[in-house]
Amino acid sequence: MDSYIPDLIWFNGSLVPWEDAKVHVWSELAIRGASVFEGIRAFWNPEEQRYYVLDLESHVRRLNESARLLKFPITTDFHTTLQAINSLLTALDLREHAYIRPTLYIDHGRYGSRAKDTLSGMHIAAFPSPHSDALYRGIRCTVSSWRRSSELNLSPRIKAGGSYMAFRLPFIEARERGFDDAILLNNRDTVSESSGAAVFVVKDSMVATPPLSAGILESITRRRIISLLHDEFFMEVQEREIVRTELYTADEVFLCGTLCEVQPVVGIDGYLPGDGMPGPLTTRCRDYYIEICESGASAPSGWLTPVEKTSSRQ
C-alpha cells in the first residue's frame, strides 16, 4: 500500500482519477485532522471471480457512529457508501485481496461546530493487501512508555484520523527499540491495545482480552474472534483487565485487527510467550479465520458480503 497508487478513487459521489481527488490545504481536514475512517478487508475469490467484503455493514455503521460522536454532518447515506465500495472494487478490478479505506472529513467550517456553516466530504480508496508474512512467523512487541487516550479525552471508540497520531510515538519508540509494534497501557496501568489491533492472552487454556472500558477501539475483528472461539472452539473469552506481567507469563499472545488479521506475538520485552513460536490456539484461530474469509459463498452467515458487479463509473 505504501508505494501502490490506484487509478481511481471514489470522491464525493463519483469515481475519479486518483490525481483529481483534492482537498485544500486550509481545509479542516488538513489543519485539524478533521476526519473519521474505517479499514475494511475485501477477499478475492478466484473460483467465483468476485470479491467478498468482511463485515461490510458493521464497518459502515461504525464509520457513521464515529461521525455522529464527533458531531460531523453525514452527507453520504449508508446504502450509498455500500454501493460506492462495490463500484470502486469493480472498477479497479485488482483481482487480489484488498484493503478499503472510506473516510468522512470536514472540508470547511471551524471544527464543524455549526452544521449550517460546515461543508463535509467523503472519499474511499482501495489498495492490494495480501496476507502479511508476520501472520505466520509472528511479531515481537514492547510495552510502550506512552499511554492510551482515555474515554474522557478523545474516546478510543471514535475511529478518528487525528486520534491515530497518538500511536505515532509508541510505534516509533517500538521500532527504535528493535521491536515490530507497541502494546499500550491505559491510565489505570492495565493493557489497552497495540498501535492498531486488539490484544488477546492465553494462559492455562483460558483466553482473555481487555474490555471496552480499558480504552480500546470497539473492534469488529475482536468481536468476530470472540465469537469464533466460543462457537467453533467452545472456549469462553474473559473480557477483563489484564496487567502488564500477564503478557510476560502468558502461554500465547496474539493481536487481531483488519490489517493484521490474527497475528501471533512471539516475544514481548524479551519474554517469550510459550516457546517463542506461534502457539497452537493462535495458529488454529488464525487458520480458521483466514479459511472463513477466503471461503466465498460457503462462509458462515453474516461474515462476508459479496460485491455485485456494477458499471465501472458512476
Give the model's confidence band at 308: pLDDT under 50 very low, under 70 low, under 90 confident, else very high: confident
CATH code for position 192: 3.20.10.10
Closest among 161, 197, 225, 6 to 98, alpha carbons compared: 6
Residue range(s) defining the domain that contains residue 90 = 8-128
CATH code for position 90: 3.30.470.10
Give per-residue pLDDT as tens, 171-202.
999 999 999 999 999 999 999 999 999 999 99
Give per-residue pLDDT as tens, 192-238.
999 999 999 999 999 999 999 999 999 999 999 999 999 999 999 99
What is the reported pTM? Answer: 0.94
Residue 159 falls in the annotated catalytic set: yes
Give the H or E element holding residue 89: helix 78-92
Specify the pLDDT at position 311. Answer: 47
- What is the strand order of the sheet 237-239 is part of? 191-194, 181-185, 139-147, 261-268, 252-257, 198-203, 206-209, 237-239
Is 198 in contact with 253 (CB distance < 8 Å)? no
Task: Say if residue 312's pLDDT is above 60.
Answer: no
Reduce the DSSP state of residue 44 to 3 states and report it. Answer: strand
Domains of the chain: total:
2
Among 128, 161, 180, the domain-final residue is 128
Specify the pLDDT at position 114. Answer: 75
The answer to whether residue 68 is domain-embedded is yes
Rounded distance, CA 163 to CA 3, Å?
Answer: 24
- Dmax (CA) of the chain: 59
Whether residues 188 and 122 fall in one domain: no
Give per-residue pLDDT as tens, 239-294.
999 999 999 999 999 999 999 999 999 999 999 999 999 999 999 999 999 999 99
Specify the pLDDT at position 149. Answer: 86
> Which residue among the candidates 22, 71, 116, 159 is catalytic per the annotation?
159
